[in-house]
Structure formats: structure tokens, C-alpha cells
Structure 1
């Protein structure tokens, strides 16, 4: 079945605009079916590339073997470093932004394969899950598979991969957007100006609500506190700036932090590395492979 590429409203957060835009990377050439229930593809993409908004009638698992990516839907954005993968349900419009040069991998699953999650899920990748995903043939339809036994191996791998998915630890590293109009207005105001240091009470007053009401709405609508949501929003804003080489002190200020040390502590707690280590890793990857080809 060919993909159904439907126009949809782009995710709201006004992150720095990518410098290069590509289409949905031919998902119709990797459509899973009963014979081949798992299909995998790989693309080497440069930093600041946007894979345009699209959808298809099967779920997918997205990850990168190197490089941080951001996947956006109408309901928010998800930061995906190489240690994690993102589950995207069938028929959900999404776009992908490459924060760093990345080897982007996508696994499509036949609709009858579990899990039946109805929203995006960020998953910790176990060694077994990574090995299973990397073992899949990535040849598109119309060409002979690199592995002549690809279809048989995919059928063998499918149940184990699904079991490993269901066992995976789910992680919150997204920037969800609420349905409540007043709370969405507050969230979008911060996304437009992450450097703003207004308190929650001040932001609540701007939408005609009390601080207590807004705190409750964050818990009820987004399942997290205001502080947790703000951290996720700041992280999503800061990663592209760091990847482009902006000084850590400038990124901290642009993210609304009064001190570099406070920003660095938040960043390391969220990603497992300091902002400087993140930048050094990216520069080292560029030095090793400066000519990564865009698909």
C-alpha cells in the first residue's frame, strides 16, 4: 500500500529553521506486508535537514546510530539521541529535523504487529533491540535484497523485536502541547521566547488564570509539572543551538538560565553529557566524516 502523504499543520514550536528540506524519503518503497512484516531503511542526512511532514498507514520505529534528531507531530516534539528510539503510531503526521549529522534508521511494522500504542513513545534501546533493528535488510522495493533470505529473517525477527519493544523502558523527553486553549497559549508564549524568565504566577496571570489552576492543568493535560515541561522545552530549543556551535554561555542565556552552571546541570541530567561534551562529540564526528551525503 502506498503512503498517504497528507498536509497537516506543522508542529507549533518555532525552533531555528532547518537549512535543507527533503521529502518523506520514499516510505512507499518499504511498505510492510504479511510476507515482509518488518521493513527497514537507512539514510545519511546532514545537520539542519528537515524531512517534511508526512504520514503512512503503518507504525514505525525511528532511531539513529549516531546524531541527535527531533521528531515533531501536531501535539509536540520529541528529542531522540542515539541511545533511544521513537515509536510513531500509524497514520500520525510527523516530520523529522536532524540536529546533528545522522545515520537515520527507520523500521516499519505491519499493522497487525504490536504494540498497539496510540501515541508516540520514546524508548531506551537495549543491546538486543539495537542488534535486531540493524540486522534488517534496507534494500527498497524494486531492487533485489542484499540478503537473499531477507524476507524469512524478517518473519523470524518480528516476534522477538516486538517483545523487546514491549519490554523497553519508556522515557519522557518530549515537548507535548495541551488541548486547553489557555494553557496552550502559555506554552506557545514560552516556546516563542525561551529566554523569558517570567515566573509561573506571572505567566498564569497573562492568560487570566491562577498559578494553582495552571499547575493543575499541566498535571492533568500533560502528565508533568510546569518545571518538567519547561525543562523539556528548553532542551529542545538548546540542542540545535549547541549543535550549530553557539557558545554554551550564549545558549544558557538564550534558554532563560541566569547562570551557565544551572544550565549545564540541567543539560547533563537530561542527556547524560555536558553541553561542551555534546559539542565536542559533534565536531569529532564531522572531522571523521565531513562529507555525509544527504539522501
Structure 2
């Protein structure tokens, strides 16, 4: 079996020029990142919105004392990361990475924890317009519109919880294996055998450490795996097969029940 190259860990770089202030409450940082780039776990004192104009990201985030959650971020989605949340980023496909850093004075009230936002075409264009903006009045207007679009954006429960770092290592290994290939096995028993545990033991660990059953957790993993494929234009039938579904119709029914829209809604629109 071919071994994948190790992820390329990169430094965060100088942050002072991107740190938001009361005078400049919204800061934009743009980076072009090759696949397998990895930012080690870190924190910021301010909130941020992680988004990519193209490519796919995996964002892992956790507040102090809370379970870690992993988010798969295609270009149609963004992850809001609250101030102080410990997080790491892994680039799954070459990404044009956009990060908005936000001052406490403009953080939407009541926004705690991390969440996935739907990125509207307007929000996408506003973020691009901030790049290189040197006019203070225009920057204020663009920033106000960015914040308004963020507040109006729909949220989706697309995070996949992972065990805390001090949790059961077998559960952690099983969860990471499913995230890498959710279609490889459909039942918990086969996955449990891989990590040297019984199905009953792993079912109990899912309940005690993640507060959910395996099937409910796996559905979130399937959605996280399927969305980037759909965003890249992969046919629905191929996505269904890659996520372990025997038929396109069964996958589509699950997807629509969870997301409110059929899979084709998340594919690129043809001219």
C-alpha cells in the first residue's frame, strides 16, 4: 500500500498586521495553500471566519473542556471560530484560503462556540473586494456589509465531533478511520474489530464520550465527506457509492432529510 506523504506543517507567520482593531474591526488574510498543508493547533484572542474560494479544508476546533469537532469546508461553506477556541487546519485539496479576523466590538451577539455558515454569492464577492482595499471609507462600508451578510447567513450542523484528547484511544482511532473513508464499511462491528474492541464496547463509548449513537455520528461524517465531492461536480451516483450507499436514491433521501435540499443543489450550476 502506498504511503501518503506527511502533511506539510507551516508556521502561522506574523499576525500583528492582521490583528483586528476598533478602527479596523475586520481584517482579511489571503493565502494559497497546497494540499496537505497543516497548521498546528493554536488560538487567537479574536474571532475568525475560515473560508476558501476554491479547494477543501478540514478544520478541527474545540473550546476549553469541550469535545473537539472537525468540519469539512468546501467553497460553499465557512467555519466561524469563536475567540480563544483551540483549532487546527488541514488542507485536503489545494485551497485559496481566506481568513477574516474580527474584533470583539463586531462579534455578533450570542455567537458562542463554532458553527458552519452558508457562503452567499454576495458574501463571497464582498470578501474578495476587501482584498487590497486602501480607501478607509470603502473599507468601512465593505466591512459593514460583510458583517451583515454573516449575521444573515444560514447555519448548518455539519460538525463531526471527535473524542477529547484524553478520551478512549480506540474511539479516536475508529472516528479518524471513518472520516478518512466513510464508505469503506457501513456497520460498527467491522470498524470495532479493526481497533481491537467489541461492537458493544464501541457503541457504549459513542454514547458516553460523544453523546450520540454511531449511525447518527456516521451520517455527519458522510455529509462532511460528500459535500466537497458534490461541490467539485462529482456525479451523485459516484458520491453515493463513495460514502457506502447501495443506491443513489437512498443516499439522496438521507441527504435531503439532513440538509433540506437534494444533493444536486450543492453541485456547480451549469451554464
Q: TM-score, normalised by structure 2?
A: 0.69
Conservation of the 8 A alpha-carbon contact between 1:69 and 1:81:
yes
When residues 18 and 96 of structure 1 are mapped into structure 2, their CA distance, relative to the original with a 3 A threshold, is farther
Question: Does the CA contact (< 8 Å) of 1:60 and 1:90 recur in 2?
Answer: yes
* Partner residue of 1:130 out of 108, 118, 124: 124
- After TM superposition, give the deviation of residue 93 of structure 1 in Å: 1.7
1:191 is displaced (CA, Å) by 2.8
Alpha-carbon contact 2:34-2:94 (below 8 Å) kept: yes
Between the two structures, name the one with larger relative contact order (CA 8 Å, sep ≥ 6).
Answer: 1
Match of 1:52 in 2: 40
Give distance in 1, aligned partners of 2:245 and 2:154.
33
Deviation at 1:133, TM superposition (A): 1.7
Residue 21 of structure 2: SS of its match in structure 1?
coil
Residue 148 of structure 2 is matched in structure 1 by 163
> 2:19 aligns to what?
31
CA-to-aligned-CA distance 1:167-192 (integer Å, 9 cap, x gap)? 1110122211356x888854643434
3-state DSSP class of the match of 1:36? coil
Contact between 2:61 and 2:69, CA under 8 Å: does it hold in 1? yes
Tell me if the contact between 2:116 and 2:155 (Cα under 8 Å) persists in the aligned partners. Answer: yes
1:71 maps to which residue? 59
Paired residue for 1:110? Answer: 103
Q: Does 1:173 align with 2:175?
A: no
Secondary structure at the residue paired with 2:71?
A: strand
Distance 1:87 1:35 in 2: 22
Match of 2:31 in 1: 43
Q: Tell me the SS of whatever aligns to 1:100.
A: strand
SS at match of 2:75: coil
Q: 2 CA distance for matches of 1:234 and 1:177? A: 14
Give the SS at the match of 1:155: helix
How many Å separate the matches in 2 of 1:239 and 1:129? Answer: 19
Distance 1:42 1:215, change over 3 A: closer
Mapped contact 1:89–1:119 kept (Cα < 8 A)? yes
Structural RMSD (CA) = 4.3
Instruction: Indicate conservation of the 8 Å contact 1:124/1:171, yes or no.
Output: yes
How many pairs are equivalent?
A: 244
- The structure with the largest strand share of the pair is 2
Q: Is the contact made by 1:68 and 1:102 (CA closer than 8 Å) also made in structure 2?
A: yes
Structure 2 gaps, min length 5: 63-67
Secondary structure (helix, strand or coil) at the match of 1:99 reads strand
